[in-house]
Amino acid sequence: MNIPFIDLKAQIKSIRNEIDEVINQVIDNTDFINGKFNKIFCENFAKFIDVKHCIGVGNGTDGLEIALTALGIKPNDEVIVPANSFIATSEAVSNVGAKVVFVDCFENLYTINTDLIEKKITSNTKAIIPVHLHGQPAKMDEIIAIAKKYKLYIVEDCAQAHGAKYKNKNIGTLGDMAVFSFYPGKNLGAFGDGGAIVTNNDKLALKAQMIANHGRTDKYNHQFEGKNSRLDNLQAAILNTKLKHLNEWNYKRQTCANHYKTLLKDIPQIKLPGLIDNISHVYHLFVIRAVNRDNLIKFLKDNGISTGIHYPIGLPFLEAYSYLNHKNKDFPITYQYQTEILSLPIYPELEKHKIQYIVDNIKEFYKHN
């Protein structure tokens, strides 16, 4: 049996007619930039997240950078980010000229360890970017308390957690601003790059909107130099169509995750992802920690099962951050992840019998290793 890590074709097949129809509408109306669907999607996504403003942008990385700029983050400011994330989180900080300050993660949750944040705060610290990694909200009560105490901004990185909830509130409503990515493999994915910034703050919304669109509100009346980072109208049309299915798709991901957990729970060589109380995890990824991980990956591959590692090198250990001179012992959990973490296939269309096949193969591997 062949099981891909992600199967976008299966999802597209299920909504192909709806998608073809809206793509044709955009083309027939040559409505490509800041068009009708962009407006409709942003309104619908704001409603979905339960937030006042949604600004479509070119991608999640730009979204983070624009949010930080809108908040006035500038050179010499410090911004706290988790050591375990995709590079976009820290890249955005560097791209606005600020200093990246990494914090290690909670071992079984994978999200930023809120007990370690205060030690990293200095008089230059201006913001925290919690990442709701793999679809699980970061510990936001603790982060909000720290941000209040030290007067820091919070920019939620929601790239992996569309529709996740923290204590009955949607992620994306818990900080000053929040950013989503619509990269094709995300829980809500476009057919190319796309992203959105959401906020309840009118001033920040206007600022972000202007930065993303050449510093203007009127066609040629530019109040400052911004950039060109707009959500493409074709992508907005696709996202607007897919948004209607997101809750159902997230539910199916949760069902897959629960099935994995039931089947994997008695394998001593496997550690399952932890859950915090009172949240809804939307399982963008299902990440376990596995003894003898690299050989397990090979065994699964030989049996037709594709897996992933998110991420093989922790951010502080990337060459890109060698100038910070971090040592392995500075981020022991992120360092440990590098040899243990393993992302198993998860997507709404993944059938139960395929999960069973994956688990059977994991069991077979550990019989001999």
Task: Please tell me the total number of residues recorded for the chain in this structure.
Answer: 369
Using CB under 6 A as the binding rule, whether residue 187 contacts ligand PLP is answered as no
Distance CA 30, CA 270 (A): 52
Q: Which of 363, 346, 368 minimizes the C-alpha distance to 268?
A: 363
Nearer Cβ to ligand PLP (67/344): 67
Using CB under 6 A as the binding rule, whether residue 89 contacts ligand PLP is answered as yes
Give the shortest CB-2-to-ligand PLP separation in angstroms: 25
Nearer Cβ to ligand PLP (165/354): 165
Site string for ligand PLP, 105-144 (x = CB under 6 A): --------------------------x-------------
Give the shortest CB-256-to-ligand PLP separation in angstroms: 19
Segment interacting with ligand PLP, rule: CB under 6 A, options 16-24, 157-165, 227-235, 318-326: 157-165
Segment interacting with ligand PLP, rule: CB under 6 A, options 2-10, 56-64, 314-322, 327-335: 56-64
Using CB under 6 A as the binding rule, whether residue 86 contacts ligand PLP is answered as yes
Q: Which of 310, 315, 335, 275 minimizes the C-alpha distance to 79?
A: 315
Given the structure tokens 């991420």, which residue do they identify?
311
DSSP letter assigned to residue 84: S
Using CB under 6 A as the binding rule, whether residue 102 contacts ligand PLP is answered as no
**Which residues, 6+ apart, have CB-to-CB distance to 97 below 8 Å?**
74, 75, 76
Give the E-state strand segments of the chain in sequence order. Answer: 53-57, 78-82, 99-103, 125-128, 153-157, 165-166, 169-170, 177-181, 195-199, 216-218, 221-222, 270-271, 279-280, 286-290, 341-344
Sheet of 286-290: strand order equals: 270-271, 286-290, 341-344
Nearer Cβ to ligand PLP (154/270): 154
- Binder of ligand PLP out of 61, 187, 240, 343 (CB under 6 A): 61
Instruction: Count CB atoms within 10 A of the CB of residue 2.
Output: 8
Nearer Cβ to ligand PLP (157/232): 157
User: Residue 110 is inside which H or E element, if any?
Assistant: none
Give the shortest CB-127-to-ligand PLP separation in angstroms: 15
Using CB under 6 A as the binding rule, whether residue 172 contacts ligand PLP is answered as no
List contacts with ligand PLP (CB under 6 A).
59-61, 85-86, 88-89, 131, 157, 159-160, 181, 183, 193, 195
